[in-house]
Structure 1
Amino acid sequence: MDNHELKEELIAYSKEIGIDKIGFTTASPFSQLKNRLLRQQELGYQSGFEEPDIDKRVTPEMLLEGAQSIISIALAYPAKMTIRVESKKGERRGIFSRASWGLDYHHILRDRLTKLEEFIINKIPNAKLKSMVDTGELSDRAVAERAGIGWSGKNCSIITPEFGSYVYLGEMITNIPFEPDTPIEDNCGSCTKCLDACPTGALIQGGQINANRCISFLTQTKELIPDEFREKIGNRVYGCDSCQTACPINKGINFHFHEEMEPDPVVAKPLLKPILKLSNREFKKRFGSISGAWRGKKPIQRNAIIALAHFKDESAVPDLIDVLQTEASPVTRGTAAWALGKIGGETAYAALRKAKELETDIEVQSEIEKGLNFYNN
């Protein structure tokens, strides 16, 4: 079958199955990306979630023998909830980032890529294909940029002219030599609003990020959050949208194309105190379908505790004391101790003094001291 004809048929079919944008590029190595990744590694800016082998991240031929081209897809996700829930005193809520609203996007994009694979195999039975979403070796952003999906913004997101940066990305390596599309010109210009809006200064310069300072990364870790970032996290229980909401290109953008991406407002903006008491089974039942649950219950509980401290929610003191006295995880106990000191009050102080006498974990002891130190300032 003629490759040009197949490409046109794929573009038409992609619209039928709910792909909002599709682009094609060669499978040649991403040489410039390799240099950037090596520099990130030297500076210690990597998150640790990436594929450790940089050559695999930039060489499609290592992932699929005979690779000739890569198909990049983008799906637009909502930027605003159609139904909103508000925080009330004593009923404070956290927030999941927009990319975690609705059904886990990995499932959504894999569904679309699987359908594209089936379409291609039906036309060319001996075609070789390899699809990936987010957790694959390739950089979704680098592929999308070269395939003309959008330009790589200073906020380290792909920005599309149609949907801004509110898009999920996935790609498919193939041994079919499709004609490549033309990359889109960078339209960020001299704007630095995303850099200015980053709460922790994680965006070092346009297109470069120190992942270890990024709130989106920090909320996914399983350790104690470093002191300098705790107050910056606010009520975020997963992810961060500050660099996206600050982007002028994203102003007024809000697409609701895909029913499975629609957020349940009480999941996307959950009550904080109930999170502290969830069992693993209850957590999976409530949050298991969203991408923000991938690291499990403990990081979300830790982040919920920090959010309660952010609100200085005195009604949460009994719950936090219970966590401090009964929780097995030192990270969760320690964060609760810090939060009690942050919120303050005689009841919290008495609980911290008691915990100081009983606690045996060194890290938790340190957090108890931090909590008690709030009373001395």
Structure 2
Amino acid sequence: MNTNQLRQEIIDYSKEIGVDKIGFASADVFASLKDRLKRQQELGYQSGFEKGSVAERTEPDRLLPEAKSILSIALAYPSRMKDAPKSTRDERRGIFCRASWGVDYHKVLKEKLEKLAAFIEEHMSDARTKLMVDTGELSDRAVAERAGIGFSGKNTSIITPEFGSYVYLGELITNVPFVPDTPLEDGCGSCTKCLDACPTGALVQGGQLNAQRCLAFLTQTKDFMPDEFRPKMGNFIYGFDTCQAVCPYNKQVDVHNHPEFEPEPEVAKPKLKPMLRISNREFKERFGHIAGSWRGKKPLQRNALLALGHYKDTTAVDDMIAVMTNDPRPVIRGTAAWSLGKIGTDEAFAAIRKAKDKETDDDVLAEMEKGLGFATSPTN
């Protein structure tokens, strides 16, 4: 079978297995990306979650010797939740970003790519493949851009004509020399809606992200949330997708092609107070199947405390006092103290002062001082 015929059969097969979009790219070095990554490193804009060296992330043949082509796939996910539960005064809720609704996309895309790899190897005995989804060395977005899946938007997301930027991406490197697709032209033009809407200035300029200021990244960290970002988070407990929500290409997009990506309302918008006392076992049973669980419960509990402070939820004061007093983790105790101060009731301030007398961790004591500082703050 010649490669052109196989190429078309792969496209047809991809539709059979539920791939929304597929493209083909050369496995040449990503030279311009290499320069950008080096610059990001110099500026300290990387998140630290990136895998591999700059060379491994931009030279496909380091990952698969004799690499000739890369297949890029996209699966669309919903932007709207059916029957979304409402947050009430007695039961405030947090929210996971859209990319963490439904089953962990890494697993779903990996299964699709494994089927494509098996299909290629079945039709070409000497074919070799290597696949990856998000956590691999290659940039999913750079591959998708080269493969014509979409163009790279100013919000640093791949924007497809059909599904906007609400797509998951994955790729498969192979030694089979397929004819590549043509990249799409940039479609952002003079629009700056995403840059204007970014609450922290993480989008330094169109297409350039300082991950250290990006709330989507910061919600996944395990240390104390830096002070300047706490008021910006609202009720997000994992991820942040305002830069996608304001994009004109996403305005009318809401795709429900994959049942596994449908959000479970009570998981995607969980009640905040129960998050504070959830056990490891309960956390795994309830959230273990979604992408937002990968860092464990600690960051989500910290973010839940910040969200309760954002709401100034007086019904949560007793729960938060228990956390501040009894939790063995300094980040959680300290964040509880700060958020209690943000809520600002007499009971909350009294509890902080009492706990402060017994606290020995310097970082927690500093957070307690910040919490008590709200007692005299006119903006609290």
* TM-score, normalization by structure 1: 0.99
Q: Could you tell me how far apart the structure 1 residues matched to 2:38 and 2:117 are?
A: 33
1:249-286 deviation per Cα after TM superposition (whole angstroms, max 9, x unaligned): 10010000000000001100000000000010000001
Q: Could you tell me how far apart the structure 2 residues matched to 1:292 and 1:202 are?
A: 21
Q: Does 1:99 align with 2:99?
A: yes
Q: Could you tell me how far apart the structure 1 residues matched to 2:214 and 2:88 are?
A: 28
Q: Does 1:142 align with 2:142?
A: yes
- Stretches (4+) displaced over 3 A: none
Instruction: Give matches, 1:70-149, under 5 Å.
Output: 70-149=70-149
In structure 1, the partner of 2:167 is: 167
Question: Per the alignment, in what secondary structure is the counterpart of residue 5 of structure 2?
Answer: helix
In structure 2, the partner of 1:211 is: 211
**How big is the shift at 1:52?**
4.2
In structure 2, the partner of 1:183 is: 183
Q: Could you tell me how far apart the structure 2 residues matched to 1:134 and 1:258 are?
A: 19
1:108-143 deviation per Cα after TM superposition (whole angstroms, max 9, x unaligned): 000100110111111012211000000000000000
In structure 1, the partner of 2:335 is: 335
% identical aligned pairs: 64
1:333-360 deviation per Cα after TM superposition (whole angstroms, max 9, x unaligned): 0000000000011111111101111100
Question: Per the alignment, in what secondary structure is the counterpart of residue 184 of structure 1?
Answer: coil
In structure 1, the partner of 2:65 is: 65
In structure 2, the partner of 1:22 is: 22
Question: Per the alignment, in what secondary structure is the counterpart of residue 78 of structure 2?
Answer: coil
In structure 1, the partner of 2:363 is: 363
In structure 2, the partner of 1:345 is: 345
Q: Could you tell me how far apart the structure 1 residues matched to 2:116 and 2:134 are?
A: 17
Question: Per the alignment, in what secondary structure is the counterpart of residue 82 of structure 1?
Answer: coil
Q: Could you tell me how far apart the structure 2 residues matched to 1:218 and 1:254 are?
A: 26
In structure 1, the partner of 2:310 is: 310
Instruction: Give matches, 1:32-71, under 5 Å.
Output: 32-71=32-71
Instruction: Give matches, 1:196-235, under 5 Å.
Output: 196-235=196-235
Q: Could you tell me how far apart the structure 1 residues matched to 2:60 and 2:41 are?
A: 20
In structure 1, the partner of 2:274 is: 274
Q: Could you tell me how far apart the structure 2 residues matched to 1:290 and 1:103 are?
A: 5
Q: Which runs of 5+ in 2 are unaligned?
A: none
Q: Which runs of 5+ in 1 are unaligned?
A: none
Q: Could you tell me how far apart the structure 2 residues matched to 1:117 and 1:365 are?
A: 54
Q: Could you tell me how far apart the structure 2 residues matched to 1:302 and 1:96 are?
A: 14
Q: Could you tell me how far apart the structure 1 residues matched to 2:35 and 2:348 are?
A: 51
Q: Could you tell me how far apart the structure 2 residues matched to 1:311 and 1:89 are?
A: 9
Question: Per the alignment, in what secondary structure is the counterpart of residue 80 of structure 1?
Answer: coil
What is the identity, as a one-letter code, of the residue corresponding to 1:197?
A
Q: Could you tell me how far apart the structure 1 residues matched to 2:125 and 2:98 are?
A: 38
Q: Could you tell me how far apart the structure 2 residues matched to 1:264 and 1:27 are?
A: 38
Q: Could you tell me how far apart the structure 2 residues matched to 1:292 and 1:343 are?
A: 27
1:65-115 deviation per Cα after TM superposition (whole angstroms, max 9, x unaligned): 110000000000000012211001110000000000000000000010011
360-369 or 121-130, larger mean C-alpha shift = 121-130
* TM-score, normalization by structure 2: 0.99
Q: Could you tell me how far apart the structure 2 residues matched to 1:106 and 1:68 are?
A: 24
Q: Could you tell me how far apart the structure 2 residues matched to 1:365 and 1:4 are?
A: 66
Question: Per the alignment, in what secondary structure is the counterpart of residue 118 of structure 1?
Answer: helix
What is the identity, as a one-letter code, of the residue corresponding to 2:291?
S
**How big is the shift at 1:161?**
0.3
Question: Per the alignment, in what secondary structure is the counterpart of residue 163 of structure 1?
Answer: coil
Question: Per the alignment, in what secondary structure is the counterpart of residue 172 of structure 2?
Answer: strand
Q: Could you tell me how far apart the structure 2 residues matched to 1:234 and 1:223 are?
A: 18
Q: Could you tell me how far apart the structure 2 residues matched to 1:369 and 1:235 are?
A: 24
Q: Could you tell me how far apart the structure 1 residues matched to 2:202 and 2:358 are?
A: 38
